[in-house]
Amino acid sequence: MDGLDHLVELQRRDGRHRAVGGVKFFIDGTVEGGTAWLEHPDCHGQGTAAFWPDTAEFGRAVGHLDRAGVQTATHAIGDAGVRHVLDTVEALGTAWMRHRVEHIETVPDGQLGRFAALGVAASMQPSHTAYTRADHGDEWSRRLGPERAERAWRCRDLREAGATLALGSDWPIAHYDPRQVIGAARLRRLPGETGAAPVQPGQALTGLMALEGYTSHAARAAGEEAVAGRIAPGCRADLTAFGLDPVLAPADEFAEAEVRLTMVGGRVVHRGGE
C-alpha cells in the first residue's frame, strides 16, 4: 500500500484555488469497447471482466483510503461494475457521503436505492446521451441489448431514490460548458438539436434538479457542503450569474445564456462584455 500512502500525503497539498481532494479508480472500461463490466455478456460475448484482475485488491485499496479519511471516485459504467463498487463501500461498514461512482451508464432497479442507503454519490454526465439514440440503433445500445439500453443514464430515478446526484461533462469526452450539461439533463438530448429524439425522456431532470447537480449536490459529493454549493455566509464565493434563469428558462435557450459575472473565491474573474 506504499503507493496509496503517497496519495494520502498528497491530500494535504492545496493552494488558494487548488486542492487534491480524493483518489480516482477505474473498475471497468466502456460499453462500445467491450470493456464495461457487465452482469451478462454484451452481444459480442464481451464485458464480463473487471479492469482489476483481483477485485479484492480494489476493495483493500478503497478500504485503506477510507480509513485515512480520503474520498474515492470510481469509474464504473457497467451494471456489474456499479454493483461491485456499492458492495465494496457496504463492506466498509460506513455511511459517509465520501465515496462516489462515476458514469453509471446502465443500472438495474435493485441498485438504485443503495446509493442513498450507503451514502454513495452518483456522478453522471447527461451529455453522454448524445452518443446514443432513442431507437437503440447506436453501437452502445446494440451491444447492451434493449433491456439494458432502457436503463440508460437513470438520472431522475437516482434522484428520486434519494441519491446525491452530481452532474459534469467528462471533458474532453463531452463539452465542458455547464450550460450545455444542464440543458442536456433537462432535455435528454443536446441543446439546440431540436430534431433529435430524447433518449429515455422519463429520466429528464427538472430545472432545479439540474442546477442542484452543479451546486449543492456537487458540493455534497465532494464533501464540501459546509463551505460550497450555495450562496450563504461562511461559504466560498464561487458563483456565476447568467442572463437567464437556469431553473425557469427553456433549456435550449439557457444553453446559450450570457455569462454576466463569475466569481472565484470572492474575486471577480469575469464580467459580461469585458
pTM for the whole structure: 0.94
- What cell does 6 get? 503517497
- Which element (helix H / strand E) includes 269? strand 267-271
Residue indicated by cell numbers 442572463: 243
Beta bridge partners of residue 259, listed in sequence order: 242
The predicted pLDDT at position 96 comes to: 60
pLDDT tens digits for 108-154?
999 999 999 999 999 999 999 999 999 999 999 999 999 999 999 99
Domains of the chain, earliest start first? 2-231 (3.20.20.140)
Distance CA 50, CA 84 (A): 9
Name the phi and psi angles at 10, rounded to 5.
-65, -25
Angle at 115 between CA 181 and CA 2, to 5 degrees: 95
Residue 185: the pLDDT is 98
**Positions in the chain whose pLDDT score sits under 50:** none
Residues in the chain: 274
C-alpha cell at 207: 430545472
